[in-house]
Amino acid sequence: MEKQDETNLNKDQYSGEHCENEEKCSGLCCTKVEHFSVNFGNTKVLEDVNLHIHCGELTAIIGPNGGGKSTLLKAMLGDVKHSGQLSYLSEHEKNRAHPVIGYVPQHLSFDIGTPTSVLDLFMVCNSKIPAWLTSTKKIISKVKESLSIVKSEHLINRRMGALSGGELQRVLLALALDPIPDLLLLDEPVSGIDQKGLEVFYDTVSELRRKYDLSIVLISHDLDIVEKYADRVILLNGKVLCNGSPKEVFNNEITTKIFGMSWFKRRPTDHENDEGRDK
């Protein structure tokens, strides 16, 4: 496996400019992942991963199954023991002690027969005091406001089990955006969703990124989606193999070797061509 520095296609070259509206961008300039490593027993899952994730950018992480993509997000969330440092730098290069992270998982496990509504979910996840000690009108108003961000306020009284796959993921996105985070992590958020739901979800994410200047990290196996929406792409397989624009990473020989094709040319690898001629 080649060294990260040798395959890093596009070193971070940013002006350091930052959105002037501190509320809009949550005061964040850059998220730094430095020297992240994760071991499960004697198995090394991640080794010396270094990333810079800037405001207003969607960084997509691609790679083979078992390459450590979801583990990296869980380590960033603090759910997996790791070495290394996660830091958040403001416009003036000052670390923020308690950054806000929003997270949308691939799946949410629950009993589809439960009478729990979307409103109930928000109340359970966000209420710091028992619901009966606060105004129901205020709670409903706040939840509607959160759902309106993803154009889903009409779902507030819908049973969780009655939501379509796309509706559920938009609800989870609204939950992840309450409050507006410094960093939004999306772990294959549209797995199993139909094409229309997929497009609605990503169009919503793109609109929110522009509106709030969000830093977003997306894990996806759908390279067409990555090509359309990502600003930067990280190829990860235990370590960062290459890092650059979608075009740079997809046309890199390492990506071609892992995925079996040159993505932009949509052609099989030479190895596959040889096999085809032998048949």
pLDDT surpasses 70 at 58: yes
| E strand intervals along the chain | 30-40, 43-54, 58-62, 83-89, 101-104, 183-187, 215-219, 232-236, 240-244, 261-262, 267-268
Q: Do 14 and 40 touch, CB atoms closer than 8 A? A: no
Q: Does residue 7 register a pLDDT over 50?
A: no
Sheet holding 232-236, edge to edge: 101-104, 183-187, 215-219, 58-62, 232-236, 240-244
Band (100; pLDDT cuts 50, 70, 90)? confident
CB-based contacts of 208-211 (< 8 A; 24+ apart in sequence): 208/149, 208/150, 208/177, 209/56, 209/58, 210/56, 211/24
> Where are the CATH 3.40.50.300 domain residues in the chain?
1-8+26-100+181-190+210-279
Exposure pattern of 248-274 as b/e (b: 16+ CB <10 Å)?
Answer: ebbbbebbbebbebbbeeeeeeeeeee
Residue 131 has pLDDT above 70, yes or no: no
Give dist(CA 49, CA 37) in Å, integer.
7
DSSP secondary structure of 143-157: HHHHHHTTT-GGGTT
pLDDT, one tens digit per residue, over 239-277 is: 999 999 999 999 999 998 888 765 555 544 444 444 544
25 phi-psi bin (left φ>0, alpha ψ -120 to 50, beta other): alpha
Q: Which of 12, 125, 31 is nearest to 76 (CA)?
A: 31
pLDDT band at 37 (very low <50, low <70, confident <90, very high): very high
pTM score, whole prediction:
0.80
243, with CB counted inside 10 A (0-12, 13-18, 19+), is: buried
Question: Can you read off the two tokens belonging to residue 212?
Answer: 């709030």
Tens digit of each residue's pLDDT (9 = 90 or more) over 155-214: 999 999 999 988 999 999 999 998 888 899 999 998 878 888 888 899 999 999 988 888
Closest Cα partner for 106 from 151, 139, 73? 73
One DSSP character per residue, 56-70 reads T-EEEEE--TTSSHH
Asked if residues 242 and 252 have their Cβ atoms less than 8 Å apart, the reply is yes
Rounded-to-integer distance, Cα 85 and Cα 104, Å:
22
Instruction: Report the distance separating Cα 246 and Cα 159, nearest Å.
Output: 39
Q: Which of 12-21, 86-95, 118-127 has the highest mean pLDDT?
A: 118-127
Q: What is the mean pLDDT of residues 146-160?
A: 94
pLDDT at 28 over 50: no
pLDDT of 6 reads 36
Tell me which of 3.30.40.10, 4.10.220.20, 3.40.50.300, 3.30.420.40 is the CATH number of domain 1-8+26-100+181-190+210-279: 3.40.50.300
